[in-house]
Amino acid sequence: MDLKKIDAPTSTTTYNRNAIDEETGNIYESISIISKRAEQINSEIKKELIEKLEEFATYNDSLEEIFENKEQIEVSKFYERLPKPHALAVKEWLDNKVYYRDTEADNQ
């Protein structure tokens, strides 16, 4: 996922209910799919952030030697400014970029 090319809103946005449930015909099913995608996005972002912060990690036994690392602060600020995972998931859903399947229909 390229986080620099994301155009999802960073603040609260009202969406058209009909656009959300257009794909499935059921608002609850659509929201369930979006929430599962948001969890996936959140874990991807968290994993990426931890990997980047590990580059700056210093392992000291002394608590007195705490110092600020400017690069680490910049990385953290970048991730704080990103849209929330649920906003990214809704944007992907509305752009038809989320793959899902109905397992109940597959079994019949």
pLDDT digits (tens, 9 = 90+) for 76-93: 888 899 999 999 999 999
Distances, alpha carbon 41 to alpha carbons 21, 37, 52, in Å:
21, 6, 17
The model's pTM? 0.81
- CA 77 – CA 22 distance, rounded (Å): 36
Over the stretch 15-68, which tens digit does the pLDDT of each residue have?
999 999 999 999 999 999 999 999 999 999 999 999 988 887 766 655 554 566
Q: Domain residue spans in the chain?
A: 17-98
Query: For the chain, where are the alpha helices, taking DSSP H only?
Result: 17-20, 27-54, 70-81, 85-94, 103-107
Encoded tokens for 45: 């972002």
- What pLDDT, on a 0 to 100 scale, did the predictor assign at position 9? 85
How distant is the alpha carbon of residue 96 from its chain centre? 16
How far apart are the C-alpha atoms of 31 and 80, rounded to whole Å?
A: 24
Q: What is the mean pLDDT of residues 68-80?
A: 83
Alpha-carbon span 70 to 89, nearest angstrom:
31
Residue 59 confidence (pLDDT) = 66
Q: What angle do CA 87, 27, 16 make, to 5 degrees?
A: 55
